[in-house]
Amino acid sequence: MLFNSLAFAVFLPVVLAVYYCLRQRAQNLFLLAASYFFYGWWDWRFLSLLFISTLVDFAVGKGLESIEDEARRRRLMWLSVVVNLGFLGFFKYFNFFVDSAVAAAQGLGLHANVTLLDIALPVGISFYTFQSMSYTLDVYQRRFKAVQDFWDFALYVSFFPQLVAGPIERITRLFPQLEATRRVDMKMISSGLWLMALGFFKKCVLADNVAVVVDDVFGRLGSANSSEVLFAVYGFAIQIYCDFSGYSDIARGTSRLMGIDLMENFNQPYYARNITDFWRRWHISLSIWLRDYLYIPLGGNRGGKWKTYRNLMITMLLGGLWHGANWTYVIWGGLHGLYLAVHKMIAGERVRDDPAPFSSVRHGVSTVLGVLFTFHIVCFAWIFFRATSLAEASTVIQLLLHWRGGFAVHFGVLAAMLVAARIDFLPWIKRDHDALYNAGPWTAAKYFAIFVVVTYFFGRFSSDAFIYFQF
């Protein structure tokens, strides 16, 4: 079920009306049923994958809690990893790896003709498998005691606001809220509605309108001039940010209506002064997941600088592959791995964000130059993320390097960039994601009215799926 659909507009009020009439235990059971209904609305057949992943990790968690022998505990932990990554690998990467193997064999002059399977990709499988698997890894490392109630654990895995596109919540943060008695006050309701209005504005007005330009240019690269391609690249940077952060805002807002606070997943990433800072601000829940369960187990920054660079590259290559079964995503991840390694090489351990970026003229100039440079190297990597093939990405880069045609400004993309920058500016300066809401009741009401009215008149409600649904 899409947030930007008529079905959700009916679903959410019904869920809230029933939810507010129930006590905590009944609320959890009802939310679990609602979450399965929400996911099953897309394709009920894949509910079995969600249930099996939940059942396996719940059983593994209890086993890890009761068994003392480390060898047996390790085998149990690997059972969870194999089941979750097995589901993910089969449904998401089977055809990709087979196709790549066939291409490699043919490149060596060997005959290879394999019929690929027509496998549907379950929506959100990358998100809920990572969330469920993180629980068993935390129990294995004794960071959290095993959950004893299966239905509460099933709700943790399937909680519908963040089920299909995150944020990827940790058991230590979300589960205590599910166990506790929740009280929903007017501040939570008002801030929740405000976040939802912001999210729909980002998605339906900014992201979906810019997507029309981006899709048009990428669909006719043979006839597009270089300035059109440049603004399409800028446009995609705005599209993917507003699309994905818009989803996160709606998810956080919806959860607040139920007295549950989801983690912040975006923190004004295009105001990052360097690439390390960018990854502290972009898709924060995935960045933390990759850091805790991949980068640190690989050795992190222990063992010398070259091993640190290697670990960064491996982490980002696998992070790129997590996004999709295409070599373009691997290149995207590799570029970010390279960016991070080079920045680490130059800055060393001095990679913390400046707490006062405009404390002096020198700091102000440094901040502006850093933000502009970081934004543009991120945009360059976005070319590979948006392109459907390496050949298409190469065409875009060639059009940017070898200018074709005159220069013309696309005012629609420019306007979207300025609006997105305006929305994020105060939260960035104040270090508060909800700074516009917290600026005062009149300011919050003004922005809420603007978001609602502009979304109503200029939003695109064609039920366009969120970009990250495909991951």
Domain coordinates in residue numbering, the chain: 6-182, 187-273+353-470
DSSP at 120: -
Residue 8 dihedral angles phi and psi, to the nearest 5°? -70, -35
Name the more confident of 453 and 408.
Answer: 453
Q: pLDDT by residue (tens digit) across 106-127?
A: 556 666 555 555 566 778 888 8
Instruction: Choose among 270, 233, 275: nearest CA to 392.
Output: 233
**pLDDT for residue 77:** 93
Q: Is the whole-model pTM more than 0.85?
A: yes
Q: pLDDT by residue (tens digit) across 227-279?
A: 999 999 999 999 999 999 999 999 999 999 999 999 999 999 999 999 999 99
**pLDDT for residue 411:** 92
pLDDT value at 10 more than 90: yes
Return d(Cα 285, Cα 347) in angstroms, integer: 24
Confidence of residue 302 (pLDDT cuts 50, 70, 90): confident
407: left (phi over 0), alpha (psi -120 to 50) or beta: beta
**pLDDT for residue 91:** 77
pLDDT value at 346 more than 70: yes
pLDDT value at 439 more than 60: yes
DSSP, residue by residue, 339-405: HHHHHHHHHTT--SPPS-TTSSHHHHHHHHHHHHHHHHHHHHHHHHHH-SSHHHHHHHHHHHHS--S
Return d(Cα 222, Cα 435) in angstroms, integer: 44
Query: What is the set of active-site residues?
Result: 323
Whether 322 and 285 have beta carbons less than 8 Å apart is answered as: no
The two structure tokens encoding residue 70 = 């480390």
Return d(Cα 442, Cα 432) in angstroms, integer: 18
Residue type, 400: L
**pLDDT for residue 176:** 94
Q: pLDDT by residue (tens digit) across 41-67?
A: 888 888 998 999 999 999 999 999 988
Name the more confident of 398 and 100.
Answer: 398
DSSP at 269: G
The full length of the chain comes to 471
Return d(Cα 434, Cα 262) in angstroms, integer: 13
Of 150-154, 331-335, 411-415, 464-468, which range is least confident?
A: 464-468
Confidence of residue 408 (pLDDT cuts 50, 70, 90): confident
Q: pLDDT by residue (tens digit) across 15-37?
A: 999 999 999 999 999 999 999 99
Confidence of residue 104 (pLDDT cuts 50, 70, 90): low
Mean pLDDT, the chain, whole residue set: 89
Whether 236 and 386 have beta carbons less than 8 Å apart is answered as: yes
pLDDT value at 99 more than 70: no
Name the more confident of 140 and 300.
Answer: 140
User: N- to C-terminal Cα distance for the chain?
Assistant: 15
Peptide bond connecting 355 to the previous residue in cis, omega within 30 degrees of 0: no
**pLDDT for residue 111:** 60
Return d(Cα 412, Cα 454) in angstroms, integer: 15
pLDDT value at 133 more than 70: yes
Instruction: Choose among 205, 207, 213: nearest CA to 457.
Output: 205
Burial class (CB in 10 A: 0-12, 13-18, 19+), 409: exposed
The two structure tokens encoding residue 376 = 């543009």
Whether 198 and 452 have beta carbons less than 8 Å apart is answered as: no
Burial class (CB in 10 A: 0-12, 13-18, 19+), 70: exposed
Residue type, 155: L
**pLDDT for residue 353:** 53
Cα separations in angstroms, 291 against 48, 325, 371, 404 = 30, 22, 24, 42
Mean pLDDT in residue range 383-397: 94
**pLDDT for residue 347:** 83
